[in-house]
Structure 1
Amino acid sequence: MVKLAANLSMMFNEVPFLDRFAEAAACGFKAVEYLFPYDFAPDELAEKLNAAGLQQALFNLPPGDWENGERGLSSLPGREDEFMESLEKALTYAKALKCPRLHVMAGMRQHGANTETYVANLKKAAKRAALDGVNLCIEPINQRDIPGFFLATTGQAVDVIEAVDEPNIGLQLDLYHLQISEGDLAMRTRALLDRVEHIQIAGNPDRHEPDIGEVYYPFLFDLLDGLGYQGWIGCEYRPKGETKAGLSWAADYGVSV
């Protein structure tokens, strides 16, 4: 059964962030995700989440200096202590929000990213997160949206996951990024699903609603059902217009306006 999570960083931008929980719930979403929670206190977010009857599916570790182009610390040599501090901060939020998984952004090649640092940091982070019952995800991101992002392909991600070799690290499979970088979505999804911790979607190529563009998501949803995927599917897209006006695509999956 397809389970959709609203991405509150991109959807329901018609209202302030803390009001988006109630908006998502009113449309029938049962879970939410977003990029970063750190502008708000954990208890404040938990109150909004619980009042709306929602589950927290996912959020990201602090990315470093976002305004100056940093997109994660996990692969950057010399930043190991800062990375582990960012993990501790994220775990504090995960506990308050009862969030079972966190996305660890890789970082940028131009900032010195390398595989040795990446694997070592992820191994240490996975061991620490396991103490709190939290799983970690890594996500390949296409080089058009974030040129120079260190983790660029699913093959690279699988190699890293195998090198880390911890039971609580998996793949965040964003089908929007996968279509741009590699294509062949159905076959790659079949091959990768045993590694997948979380899935995200958006329409290609402009990252609008999933029913706009070149990918036919109902086929992929049926495929995921047939393969027995039980996790959340995060709607990480930018609505082309007002969020509610573009939700008709999700009517068959428990979401309506």
Structure 2
Amino acid sequence: MRFSANLGFLWTDRTLPEAVHAAHAAGFDAVECHWPYATPARLVKAALTETGLPMLGLNTDRGDVAGGENGLSALVGREAEARAAIDQAVEYAVALGTRNIHVMAGFASGQSAHDTFVENLRYATTEAELHGITILIEPLNHYDAPGYFLQTTTQARAIIHEVGVGNLKLMFDCYHVQLMEGDLSHRLTDLQPLIGHIQFASVPDRAAPDHGEVAYGHIFQHIHDMGYDAPLGAEYKPVGDTNDSLGWMNTLG
């Protein structure tokens, strides 16, 4: 298996370029991040060039974080801000050569939120297609993100089919899916045509994948047997120093 280090959680005590180098030294095959916008893209690009690691993905801006926001694209009346966040993400992704952007829906509910999300995704996929970029949507569990608009793979599948374009895919985060739906092996197989990226963490504590209720040795083998060969995103919260949490790469990889 190949693995991508999610620098939103790993090596957070370092600058983003330093974290890229740390991921390379640890043996990761790629990196990904959450919100890199405070770091000039040229500095991140330099670190990617020096290490040879690709940046697989990044997220659109969350909005007013201090006010409790976690994405904008399903928020009725906030379309201009949502599309500005999409533009910002596309510009940054192009500068890094990043091929995936996770468009965050935010806290919302109802048909109006659904319609707003769909229209913003149509905007995002149109803009992204000009640069060969794929837009990802990710269901988040209702324990960590109560009230988040997108919560299940069933909902995500329906939205992907409604938007109906080839560059809109599912971010299948095993941690979130296990908490909301379970049955990871069958869901991975069923949703494989729609999957653009896979992430993982232990359940229920979202730490390294070497413990908890999900047998990742089995899950990783299942993903391999499916023929999926892209790097899997290690999006977990290490307990203590990140380097001390990486034993799973040898035992599970």
Output the TM-score relative to the length of structure 1. 0.94
Q: Report the CA distance shift for 1:161/1:112 in structure 2 as closer, same or farther (over 3 A).
A: closer
Structure 2: gaps (5+ residues) = none
- For the pair 1:247 / 2:246, whether they are aligned, the reply is yes
Q: Which moved more, 1:13-22 or 1:53-62?
A: 13-22
Which runs of structure 2 are paired with 1:118-137 in the superposition (5 Å)? 118-137=117-136
Q: Which residue of 1 aligns with 2:154?
A: 155
Are 1:107 and 1:113, in contact at CA under 8 Å, matched by a contact in 2?
no
Give, in whole Å, the separation in 2 of the partners of 1:234 and 1:19.
19
Q: Which residue of 2 aligns with 1:48?
A: 47
Question: Which residue matches 1:189?
Answer: 188
Contact 2:7 2:31 in 1 (8 A): yes
Contact 2:106 2:149 in 1 (8 A): yes
Give the % identical residues: 39
Specify whether residues 247 and 9 from structure 1 end up closer, same or farther in structure 2 by C-alpha distance, changes over 3 A only: same
Normalising by structure 2, report the TM-score.
Answer: 0.95
Q: Report the counterpart of residue 210 of structure 1 in structure 2.
A: 209
Partner Cα distance (1:113, 1:64) in 2: 19
Classify the secondary structure of the residue corresponding to 1:234.
strand
Quote how far apart the aligned CAs of 1:169 are.
0.2
For the residues of structure 2 that align with 1:190 and 1:44, how far apart are their CA atoms? 38
- The residue aligned with 1:115 is 114
Deviation at 1:241, TM superposition (A): 2.3
Amino acid at match of 1:55: P
The 1:145–1:36 alpha-carbon spacing in structure 2 relative to 1, beyond 3 Å, is: same
Q: For residues 186 and 77 of structure 1, do their structure 2 counterparts lie closer, same or farther at Cα, with a shift above 3 Å needed? A: same
**How many correspondences in the alignment?**
253
**CA-CA distance at 1:119 after TM superposition:** 0.8
**Counterpart-to-counterpart distance in 2, 1:94 and 1:253:** 30
Q: CA deviation at 1:252?
A: 5.4
SS at 1:173's partner residue? strand
Matched residue, 2:167: 168
Take 2:60 and 2:110, find their aligned partners in 1: how far apart are those partners? 18
Residue 16 (structure 2) pairs with residue 11 (structure 1): no
Structure 1 spans left out of the alignment, 5+ residues: none
CA distance in structure 2 between the partners assigned to 1:148 and 1:49 by the alignment: 36
3-state SS of the aligned residue for 2:49? helix
Aligned match of 1:87: 86
Q: CA deviation at 1:82?
A: 1.6
Aligned mates of 1:65, 1:44 — CA distance in 2: 26
Root-mean-square deviation (CA, aligned residues, Å) is 1.6
SS at match of 2:246: helix
Deviation, 1:88, is 1.2
Q: Cα distance, 1:14 vs. partner? A: 4.1
